[in-house]
Amino acid sequence: MVNLIIEIYKNLGMFLGLTFHNEVLWIVFPLLISTVIMLFYFEKYRDEDPGWNTYVANSLVLFFVAIILLRFIYRINNSGIVNYGLYPVRTVFSFIILIISIMLLFFNFQHFLPEKIARAVSSPLTVNLVAYIAIIYVFSDSENTFSVFSALLLIFILLIVILNLIKIPLEEMFINLKKSKEKEEVDKILKEKKRIEKAKKELKKEGKKKMNYIKKQEKKIKNNHLKKASEKEKQTKKLKKAIKKK
């Protein structure tokens, strides 16, 4: 049992070290970047539905990885197709990945699976992790032992745990950001409401001033008319008196 644990530990180190191998890194690095970006994206937009087109695209990622694995086996020692017989387990493993990717592609293209299941099996996290495990296994020169597959399974589980743990602070961060934005929006609305109310009061006040001015002008005009009418009446009376005297 102790020897098995030691072997698993050694294989863990070997596989993780292989990740930084020049040829492997060129394949793994884009997977890592896409996984991190999509992790951030879906934590930020939790209510957003990825859609079937995203599931199809993720299936294609696994398909292309399977092709890369088969090409790698083909090119080992420049032996060509013979390598598929020399490395039967890796070849079968690569073909299994290829078949799974084609099945996923077909199911997602046809909307065959319930969307919840399709979302789970075709998520960037699932697809990219499976692709990563497949890459480090096929690119390694390890023997096909229980400790090797145990190490691969352990890496898969550890990565799932780590990525899900990363989700916790991300979720908290984006929730706080959302609340902060909502508060800003509420503050903006309240400020705008106050501005509108102030403008209404000013308009009302201005309206009252105008009404008072109009009333004053009307009163002034009315008084002028009355004054003129009174003067005319006086002049008329004077004329009448003058006519009577004559």
Distance CA 86, CA 55 (A): 35
The contacts of residue 65 (CB under 8 Å, 6+ apart) are 27, 97, 101, 131, 134, 135
The per-residue pLDDT for 99 is 94
Q: What is the mean pLDDT of residues 96-110?
A: 91
In 10 A of CB 61, how many CB atoms?
20
Q: Whose CA is closest to 68, among 152, 117, 154, 136?
A: 136
Q: What is the mean pLDDT of residues 18-46?
A: 85
The per-residue pLDDT for 78 is 84
Distance CA 54, CA 119 (A): 9
pLDDT tens track for 48-57: 777 888 888 8
Residues above pLDDT 70, as percent of the chain: 88
Per-residue buried b or exposed e for 115-146, using 16+ beta carbons within 10 Å of the residue's own CB? eeebbebbbbbbbbbbbbbbbbbbbbebeeee
CA dihedral of 166, 171, 172, 173, whole degrees rounded to 10: 90
The contacts of residue 137 (CB under 8 Å, 6+ apart) are 15, 90, 93, 148, 152
Residue 246: is its pLDDT beyond 60?
no
Domain parsing of the chain, residue ranges: 2-183
> Which two tokens mark 214?
């109009």
Confidence of residue 229 (pLDDT cuts 50, 70, 90): low
- Cα→Cα distances 91→35, 70, 113, Å: 26, 7, 28
The per-residue pLDDT for 92 is 92
Distance CA 98, CA 73 (A): 14
pLDDT tens track for 121-170: 888 888 999 999 999 999 988 888 888 888 989 999 998 888 888 888 87
Burial class for 12, CB neighbours closer than 10 Å (0-12, 13-18, 19+): middle
